Structure 1
């Protein structure tokens, strides 16, 4: 148990350090691209929230295409900021294209977050039916019309009984309804009605 806790603690410490560094890189890049004050702090929150929302969608097991799309977009923004602040980019003279990307990020993040939040996965029909039943709601009525059982003439029942007796004498087992239907050449509902009389 102690080894497990030590491993969990190490993972948590690593995650906190990585998150803090990534957060700082996103803040620094936003600040260098002209986003001052609270705006520069909002960028890392926006990127991380989109990343978490996309990961949650991926873990839900459905609508994975949307989850992967926005996960990759958010991961590219995070990785891009981390790499850009590694000394490869002069933060005192940020290129215009990067300023445009940073300025456009809120619209992209808003779109992604909205689509992830408001396009909930479509539940399976069986699970929808199970949910009302679990909640105590009455099951949906069977809308398929119930046809009356067909009238079976006595002569047809007598003929079917003769065929069934011959089948039992030959095979040693009773004749099933599909075989009876095939021997008589009648539709399934009529075969069911005949079998009920045998």
Structure 2
């Protein structure tokens, strides 16, 4: 089944306008001293810069970025195209082109190259993502905190460490400090746990390194043989 080709009026109009603008730019370039293939390259350069700038504008706007630089290059290419169209309307003698126009035409390649390079290689930063601020921890009302503290059971009182039971010292025996008595009890317990036999007075006196009266007083209170 054959498909009928229907011409698009907008596309036909764009082709005609592009061809006319192309010819006007060629005529200006040729009149400014750019002969041969160089005169045909100028309209291509202007139209390509125009299209590249418009494409860059659409890309930046889609990404929600500023497009001021792309708009400036689009305006430059549009002015060059419109200027050529107006100049060939009889306002400019193509047989006696002024010096300033020759300078503009001769400097256009460098300007177009700079604009195209900046349009292609301009970095596009992704929109910054601001991290959410940390939410403050919820604070309980003062009354609830006090109620929770009241509901908590009070810690049981810690019993004081019991010192080893000791026999009352003799009247003439030296006084034994509680810390020394506890240390001696620890030595006696370790010895019994290691050897299986209770420690005797001589071994305890040797381990403590105390005088005989003090060692005997400790052994008496610990009820050692």
TM tier, shorter chain? Answer: 0.5 to 0.7
CA distance in 2, matches of 1:160, 1:31: 95
Quote the residue 1:99 is aligned against: 102
Quote the residue 2:89 is aligned against: 86
Look up the SS of the partner of 2:35 in the other structure.
coil
CA distance in 1, matches of 2:145, 2:81: 82
CA distance in 1, matches of 2:87, 2:149: 89
Hey, which of these two has a bigger chunk of helix by percent? Answer: 1
After TM superposition, the score normalised by the length of structure 2 is 0.54
Q: CA deviation at 1:161?
A: 3.4
Cα deviations across residues 19-74 of structure 1 (Å, max 9, x unaligned)?
00000000010000000111101100110011011101111113410111001000
CA distance in 1, matches of 2:147, 2:75: 68
Structure 1 contact 57–63 (Cα < 8 Å) conserved: no
CA distance in 1, matches of 2:120, 2:147: 63
Structure 1 contact 32–92 (Cα < 8 Å) conserved: yes
- Computed over aligned residues only, the root mean square deviation of the Cα atoms, in angstroms, reads 3.0
When the two structures are aligned, how many residues end up with a matched partner? 135
Look up the SS of the partner of 2:12 in the other structure.
helix
Runs (5+) with no aligned partner, structure 1: 127-156, 164-198
Q: How is 1:73-152 mapped onto 2 (pairs within 5 angstroms)?
A: 73-126=76-129
Look up the SS of the partner of 2:86 in the other structure.
helix
One of 148, 152, 162 as aligned partner of 1:161: 148
* Structure 1 pair 84–121 and aligned structure 2 pair: CA distance change class (3 A): same
Q: CA deviation at 1:99?
A: 0.3
After TM superposition, the score normalised by the length of structure 1 is 0.61
Quote the residue 1:58 is aligned against: 57
CA distance in 2, matches of 1:161, 1:73: 75
Structure 1 contact 63–121 (Cα < 8 Å) conserved: no
Cα deviations across residues 54-104 of structure 1 (Å, max 9, x unaligned)?
101111113410111001000000000000111110101101110000001
Structure whose alpha-carbon radius of gyration is higher? 2
Q: CA deviation at 1:125?
A: 3.8
Look up the SS of the partner of 1:22 in the other structure.
helix
Residues 1:19 and 2:18 aligned together: yes
Quote the residue 2:174 is aligned against: none
Q: CA deviation at 1:162?
A: 6.8
Runs (5+) with no aligned partner, structure 2: 130-143, 151-225
Provide runs of 4+ in structure 1 moved above 6 Å.
none
